[in-house]
Structures are given as C-alpha cells and as structure tokens.
Structure 1
Amino acid sequence: MAEYVLNNDFKPAIVIPVYNHEAAIENTLNKVLKYGYPVVLVNDGSHEKCRNVLEKLAQKHREAVYLVQLDVNKGKGGAVKAGMRFLLSQGFSHALQVDADGQHNISDLPLFIEMAKKEQSSLICGAPIYDASVPKHRYYSRYLTHVWVWINTLSFDIKDSMCGFRVYPLDKICKQLDRNDCGNRMSFDTEVVVRWLWSGNKVTNLPTKVLYPKDGVSHFKAVKDNVLISWMHTRLFFGMVLRLPVILWNKRHD
C-alpha cells in the first residue's frame, strides 16, 4: 500500500459495496484508483459472473485493492459495515464510501479526503447537485426523507441523508454500530447519520454532482425498501422523542 498510508495518523481508504455491478465496477474502480488510495471491494453475495469480475480486479490491482467476500447478500448497509470493520482492523482511520454504479462524481474524491483530514472527527456527507439525468420521481420523493430527518434531528444539519458519497471516522462509527447496528439495506445511509448526530457528533455537508447513468443498475426494491424506510423513520421519531432532552442539551452546547 502507499507509503503515506503507513506513516501518518490520518489513514483513509475507499470502501465500495458491490452487488451484481459487474458491468460498472471496473470503470468505477479505475476512476478511484487514479487518486492512489487503498480500496476495499465488498462482494455482497453477488452472482458468479460478478464475483469472477471482482476476483480478477482484486488480483490485477493486488497492491492497492482488498476484496471482502460476503457469502450471502446482506444489503448495501451490511456490505458497507463489513467493509468499514475490515478497514478498521487493518489500521485505517477513515473510510470514504463510494457506490459501485457510477452515480458519484469521483473527481470530487480529493475534496472529500481533504475535508475529512481537516475535520477528522466529523462525518463528511455528500450534498447532491443533480443534472437532468435524475429521475423526477426520485428527486421529489427524497424530500419526504429530508423532512423526516429534519424532524428526527430537530435541525437542518443534514442536507441529504441518502447520498452514499461520504467519509466516516472509522473508530467512532464502528463503536456507534456496536451500540446500534442500524439497518442493513437502503435505510442504512439515513439511519446511521441520524444516530451519529444524536450522539452529539458533527456532520459536514459537501456539495457534489450526482449522475444517473442510463444503463445504471439499481437494487432499490420499491415495496420492500420503502416499507423498511418507513419503519426506520417511525423508529427514529420515537427514538427522538425519548432522546429529546439529550438532543436539546447537545444543540444548546454546540
């Protein structure tokens, strides 16, 4: 691995959860590797074709890429958690989460790393800037989650809780996950950042362009994931009510 990773306290790496993205992952990985940071690919129980692609990529880039294999599909959240815990065990300090499908503007990667280095105890969240490629139903439906997040945190500190382009301080986030594991599927991105803010930690929002490739693969299950997200918001609301004195205390002492 790169020498700077071994010699400095700030040791970032990239985590990419992958589930049947065999057509997109090589392009995404090549864009990420240009910046010289170690990468962990998490195979989230993909089918054989994707698994073979990931194994070949890990072998091709064996000096820079780790491969974590999950025997069964756990969902995006489960894969991200597995990747972060693996990186923490390898001595890394921060994990930059990148989606495999090519939605994220990888050219912003240095900006996320730079911000994480300046604010090492903060969770750096991407705040999406959309172009015409965004499906309108997705664009407007996100605001329902935004409203619930603002209610459940009693703040506007989280600009967008659904963007998967973000940097986690590994020690703090893994300790939080030990206390509350959060969901394993699409609800993970939102729940983990809400609970992060509840704990009195800081969120820093970083604007970034988000693309929706025409041939992109989405694993969002309209019924199942919407039910899980609705249940998550319900749990978080009642959790907010129970934590209200602590939340107000933290806000008062910000």
Structure 2
Amino acid sequence: MPDLSRTHLVLIPSYNTGERLFSTVSAARAQWNPVWVVIDGSTDGTGERMQRMAADDPGLRVWLLPENQGKGAAVLHGLKEAHRAGYTHALAMDSDGQHPADLIPSFMQASQARPDTMVLGRPIFDASAPRARVWGRKLSNGWTHIETLWAGVGDSLYGFRIYPVAALIDVMESQPWMRRFDFDTEAVVRLVWGGAKPVDIDAPVKYLSKAEGGVSHFNYVRDNILLSWMHARLMGEFLLRLPQLLMKRARRLPPFQP
C-alpha cells in the first residue's frame, strides 16, 4: 500500500452508486493513502458496507450524511474534515468508475510540485461518451473561458481534479451555490478569480453502461437548467469583477522589452 500522505488525500463523494463504489474505492486505495469517502444520504446500503470496509483499512475513512445534499455539499463536508486534519489539497473523483484511478499519483505529484495550483483533468473521450453530453460541455466550457478570461481551464466539468482545500472552503462558504451539479464548474471559475492557477492534465473518461455497473444521476433538463442559471450568475458577477480581473492579469504580464 502507498505511504500515508499528510498533505494530499483522495476525496470521493457518493450517492447510490451501488457495487461500482467498492471497485472505485479499492482502485483509489491501491494508488493513494488516505482515501476518504462521503456517503451523501445513500439509500442503497453502500454506506454501511463502506464503513465495514474502512474498519479493516486505516487508510480509508467514511462519513455518512443523513440525507442527500448534492455533490458539492458532500465535497464541502469532506473538505472541512480535511482542513481540520491538516490536509492542504484534495483530489476529488467520482464514485461511478468514470475516472482513472491509475492517474492519481501523477496528479498528486503535479500538485505537490506546484501547490499554488489546482490540477484539472482534461477528459479524453472514447466511443462510450454520449454525444449530447460532449457537445453540452463544449458550450459550458466556452462560457467558462470567457468568465476566466481564458486563464487556461481545459475543461470545467470533469470532476477528476485537485483542489486547494482552504481556498475552496472559503469560496463555498461565501455564497449558497455550488452544492449540486453546479459545483465543478463554479468551483473552477471562482478559484481562478481568487488567483489559483489551473494546470491541465489529459485523463481518459469512461461512460459505463448499465451492464457494466454504470450509474448516472444526471438529468438533462434539470441539470442543464441549473448550469444555465449558474453561468448567468457567473457572467453577471464577471462583468462586475472585470476591471479587477484585468488589473490582476496586467500585473502578471512580463514587462515590455523593445
């Protein structure tokens, strides 16, 4: 098993993921120590089983939330626990088997080398990716590029990424949003506004079929409305912040040399 890290951990939120949760956690544990799981009000019995799994593994910790609050809320719960334990960075990954656990060490190494950054997975899709989801994220990414002044965010929706713990807690506690499907994109935009530098690393994404144990809680109507509302809010705030963002960008530019 990997040595225990005192600064970086893997954080996995989960809601009714079924058997896929256990293979995801096992794959993450094979690559990193520690791995923390937040069960977001699941009703499929995975929380209790995960607690029994953690009882035999000191590198695995599990929290059970009493009711479903959304991905962002589950991540925030884990971040607060991580901050209290002295951790500075958390690699968030989904529990449904879409994300490449074998890339955890290389992402962690990139973060440890540049702790002032957030390390973002840039998805490489295969034939399993629904075409509507791929085109939809291109639209969301276009808005994100504008909202961050083309700061270098390769993908705003891919949830396999490393966050600075304290900075993200501050961002989330400053406003009531980012608790559900709007979490991933808004977290990136607001962290860029706060000065975090994005580092993009290619990572494959796999959309598992039901026969493979794939589970998805994405609702095309509800969640696209949520994303549209999120970008409307962010664009309004972006316009208010624009003078300040331009000044920050100007200060980072190298001096002109004739």
User: 5+ unaligned residues in a row in structure 1: which ranges?
Assistant: none
Q: Distance in 2 between matches of 1:240 and 1:164?
A: 23
CA-to-aligned-CA distance 1:31-80 (integer Å, 9 cap, x gap): 1111241011101000052223222222232x111111111111111111
Q: Is 1:208 paired with 2:203?
A: yes
| Cα RMSD, aligned residues only | 1.6
* CA positional deviation for 1:176: 2.4
- Would the alpha carbon gap of residues 37 and 181 (structure 1) be closer, same or farther in structure 2, given more than 3 Å must change? farther
Task: State the TM-score, normalizing by the size of structure 1.
Answer: 0.93
1:12-31 aligned at under 5 Å gives the runs 12-31=8-27
Are the equivalent residues in 2 in contact too, given 1:20–1:47 (CA < 8 A)?
yes
Task: List structure 1 segments (4+ residues) > 6 angstroms apart after TM superposition.
Answer: none
Q: Distance in 2 between matches of 1:143 and 1:4?
A: 38
User: What is the number of residues matched between the two proteins?
Assistant: 249
Q: Is 1:103 paired with 2:98?
A: yes
User: 5+ unaligned residues in a row in structure 2: which ranges?
Assistant: 253-258
Are the equivalent residues in 2 in contact too, given 1:39–1:64 (CA < 8 A)?
yes
Task: State the TM-score, normalizing by the size of structure 2.
Answer: 0.92
> Counterpart of 1:251 in 2: which secondary structure?
helix
* CA positional deviation for 1:206: 1.0
- Would the alpha carbon gap of residues 177 and 67 (structure 1) be closer, same or farther in structure 2, given more than 3 Å must change? same
Q: Distance in 2 between matches of 1:179 and 1:78?
A: 14
Q: Which residue of 2 aligns with 1:78?
A: 73
Q: Which residue of 2 aligns with 1:114?
A: 109
Q: Is 1:46 paired with 2:42?
A: yes
Q: Is 1:174 paired with 2:169?
A: yes
Percent sequence identity over aligned pairs: 35
Q: Which residue of 2 aligns with 1:5?
A: 5
Q: Distance in 1 between matches of 2:151 and 2:86?
A: 33
Which amino acid letter does the alignment assign opposite residue 234 of structure 1? A
Which amino acid letter does the alignment assign opposite residue 85 of structure 2? Q
Q: Which residue of 1 aligns with 2:119?
A: 124
Which amino acid letter does the alignment assign opposite residue 146 of structure 1? N
